[in-house]
């Protein structure tokens, strides 16, 4: 199962990816984690990326795509992979498609997790992090025990303004890639509203079809 995970920030892609790893026995490849790992390993592409980042520049798409091809060629991707965080724009999607085709890699599905903007804002604004355990709570959906409430942290990027800004970027730049995959018959949409178990059940049923 070779798939790309797509959805607005806060839709639960990371949560579902962790669950799908166990179900399908394929790795979750976050573009950010992959980039950091390549830099740490000191690969040629990692060194190139590190140079751009140290200069305060964005890592070029061709470098990121090279890393993706390098990563999915590893033995743990023999049964497939879940790519998360890339592509984010139409040029990136087109370049990744061309590179994968040239490498003989065929996508099976592009999984879109749909959640209304209003709920994403509510999820984010109510999120609280426990700095001692790393656990994430929500003031409404998953309240913390009263005795630890005072030590929880509300991250600066979990404000309504910051979340709205991320959503605007998603709708302006990332959402337009969806028709490309829909035309190829790869796009599958799943309702991301509900408990993690409910959403996973929908995803599993969708992928089974």
Domains contained in the chain, number = 1
Q: Which domain holds residue 16?
A: 2-201
**Cα distance between residue 179 and residue 154, in whole Å:** 36
Is position 77 within any domain?
yes
The pLDDT of residue 157: 87
Is residue 71 flagged as an active site residue?
no
- The CATH number for 184's domain is 3.40.50.300
Is residue 155 flagged as an active site residue?
yes
Angle between helices 117-125 and 160-169 (to 10 degrees): 140
- Does 162 score more than 90 pLDDT? yes
Q: Mind listing the pLDDT tens digit for each residue in 58-112? A: 899 999 999 999 999 999 999 999 999 999 999 999 999 999 999 999 999 999 9
48 CB neighbour count, 10 Å cutoff: 18
Is position 62 within any domain?
yes
Is position 206 within any domain?
no
Is position 72 within any domain?
yes
Is position 209 within any domain?
no
Segment of 16-30, 56-70, 123-137, 181-195 carrying the highest mean pLDDT: 181-195
The pLDDT of residue 93: 97
CB burial of 52-64 (b: ≥16 within 10 Å; e: otherwise) equals eeeeeeebebebb
Is position 207 within any domain?
no
> Could you tell me where the beta strands, DSSP code E, fall in 115-195?
127-129, 136-138, 187-191
Q: Give the β-pairing of 127-129 and 2-6.
A: unpaired
Q: Give the β-pairing of 81-84 and 2-6.
A: parallel
Is residue 202 flagged as an active site residue?
no
Is residue 127 flagged as an active site residue?
yes
Q: Find the catalytic residue in 47, 151, 155, 184.
A: 155
Is residue 2 flagged as an active site residue?
no
Q: Under DSSP, is residue 138 helix (H, G, I), strand (E, B) or coil?
A: strand
Is position 75 within any domain?
yes
Identify the band that residue 121 occupies on the pLDDT scale cut at 50, 70 and 90.
very high
**pLDDT (mean) for 153-170:** 93
The pLDDT of residue 189: 97
Q: Return the HEC string of 34-86.
A: HHHHHHHHCCHHHHHHHHHHHCCCCCCHHHHHHHHHHHHCCHHHCCCEEEECC
Q: Find the catalytic residue in 127, 128, 188, 200.
A: 127
């Amino acid at each position: 199962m070779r798939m790309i995970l797509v959805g607005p920030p806060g839709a639960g892609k990371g949560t579902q990816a962790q669950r799908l790893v166990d179900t399908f026995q394929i790795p979750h490849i976050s573009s950010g984690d992959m980039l950091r790992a390549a830099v740490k390993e000191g690969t040629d592409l990692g060194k190139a990326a590190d140079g751009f980042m140290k200069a305060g520049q964005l890592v070029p798409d061709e470098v990121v795509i090279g890393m993706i091809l390098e990563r999915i060629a590893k033995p743990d991707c023999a049964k497939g992979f879940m790519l998360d965080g890339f592509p984010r724009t139409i040029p990136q999607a087109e370049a990744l498609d061309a590179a994968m085709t040239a490498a003989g890699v065929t996508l099976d599905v592009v999984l879109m997790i749909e959640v209304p903007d209003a709920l994403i804002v509510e999820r984010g604004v109510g999120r609280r992090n426990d700095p001692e355990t790393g656990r994430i709570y929500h003031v409404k959906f998953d309240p913390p025990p009263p005795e630890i409430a005072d030590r929880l942290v509300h991250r600066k990027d979990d404000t309504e303004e910051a979340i709205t800004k991320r959503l605007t970027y998603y709708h302006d730049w990332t959402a337009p890639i969806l028709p490309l995959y829909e035309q190829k018959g790869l796009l599958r949409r799943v309702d991301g509203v509900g408990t993690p178990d409910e959403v996973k059940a929908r995803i599993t049923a969708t992928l089974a079809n």
